[in-house]
Amino acid sequence: MSISKYDSSNIKILNKKIILRLIHRRNPISRNDIARLTGLKASSVTRLVNEMISEGHILEAGVIESESPGRKKISLRINPEYRISLLFDVGVTYSTVALGYYDGSVRVVESFRTPKNYVDFFKLVQNYFNNLSLRYNHSLVLLSIPGMVDTDNGIIINAPNLGWRDVRIKNYLDLEVPIIADNEANLSVLAEKYYSKALINMSNLVFILVREGVGTGLMIDGKLYRGKFFSAGEFGHMTVDISSDELCHCGKTGCWELYSSIRYALRRARRELNFHEEDFNKLKTMPEAKFILLDMASNIAEGIVNIINAVNPEAVILGGEISDMPAYFYQRLISIVRKKALKPASTKVVVIPSIFKNVSSNLIGASICAIEYIIDNI
């Protein structure tokens, strides 16, 4: 059966996407290696690569040195400035605006105090877009949200710690580019899977994001799992203390994040150490705060035990404000997980901190999400 022009066009686009994703993963790489790893004919690879060079996706990056004689290989790399996305890490107290480049790199522009009112927040987003667009040709805007997001319709369903509910984002922005929003923990688990060598052969992951609240990103069989109504992973609001009358921002009592977030540690530090700064990074370096941080580790571990028993992941990644904690913190947390989670998961599950220390994992994930959107729509 002959292939129609329509089918040939589809196959060409599909092969372009395969090549682009491979270059993103193996940046830089040669044409020969692309042919070998994809199974495509060398002539097809050469033709498609040359086409994508002319379009701006790819750059030739010099000669790859080889010990064997013969024709030298020319390395290829992604052109970082082919598309630049505007990224927002929406935090409860402070938010960050960054540029996401087409090669996956992220450059933080600045941080700003998050307005309490979402209308005011989106005015700032609009201003950043307008001002930065004078220097950069933005391809899309991506928002990392600390709460439930309807990713199909661009609606912030509920961000309890911000007090934002049922916010249709496009109603507050006048942009000529696509706007994408997702939960911050979902973006974080995407980033870890994409870049962490420890997770290469794993497909079932849980990312624990501890900030002012606690969120979890779930990856099941290699895919993000959001649930039917976009609330999967809201383990921060599972009940861990049925006798508590302390009210969570979600409106319920006894939630896990009440005892596991940085707010818990700072609240106790104010009460028990007369520490009145809102600086968790400083607190975690103070020897006198060790007992508070150990209690925090224990509380986080108890929730992780429940998640492991319910989801049965291969790895649990600790991120946000707990990606760079003192060794004793991780020792306490992991010892409780090993002791209390059901076997065999208790001994086999990997529990590790995030690989990202200087840039938040959710911003990296936002950049990946933007790149995937661009490739999907070539």
Tell whether domain 5-78 is in CATH 1.10.10.10: yes
Q: Is 10 in a helix, a strand, or coil? A: helix
- Hey, what CATH topology would domain 197-353 get? Nucleotidyltransferase; domain 5 (3.30.420)
Asked if domains 5-78 and 84-187+361-376 share a fold, the reply is no
For the chain, the straight-line distance linking the first and the last C-alpha, in angstroms and rounded, comes to 27
User: Domain coordinates of the chain in residue numbers?
Assistant: 5-78, 84-187+361-376, 197-353
Over residues 229-245, the pLDDT tens digits come to 999 999 999 999 999 99
Over residues 71-94, the pLDDT tens digits come to 678 899 999 999 999 999 999 999
Which run of H or of E encompasses 148? strand 148-150
Assess contact for 359 and 200: CB atoms under 8 A: no
What is the percentage of the chain residues whose pLDDT exceeds 90?
90
* Cβ atoms within 10 Å of 327's Cβ, excluding its own: 7
pTM, full prediction: 0.93
**Mean per-residue pLDDT pooled into runs of 10, the chain (378 residues):** 61 96 93 96 96 96 67 88 97 97 97 97 97 87 98 97 97 96 98 96 98 97 96 96 92 96 98 96 97 98 98 98 97 98 96 95 98 95
Query: Rounded to whole angstroms, how far apart are CA atoms 327 and 292?
Result: 14
Over residues 172-217, the pLDDT tens digits come to 999 999 999 999 999 999 999 999 999 999 999 999 999 999 999 9
Domain 84-187+361-376, what architecture? Answer: 2-Layer Sandwich (3.30)
Query: Rounded to whole angstroms, how far apart are CA atoms 198 and 374?
Result: 27
pLDDT of residue 3: 45
pLDDT of residue 23: 97
pLDDT of residue 71: 65
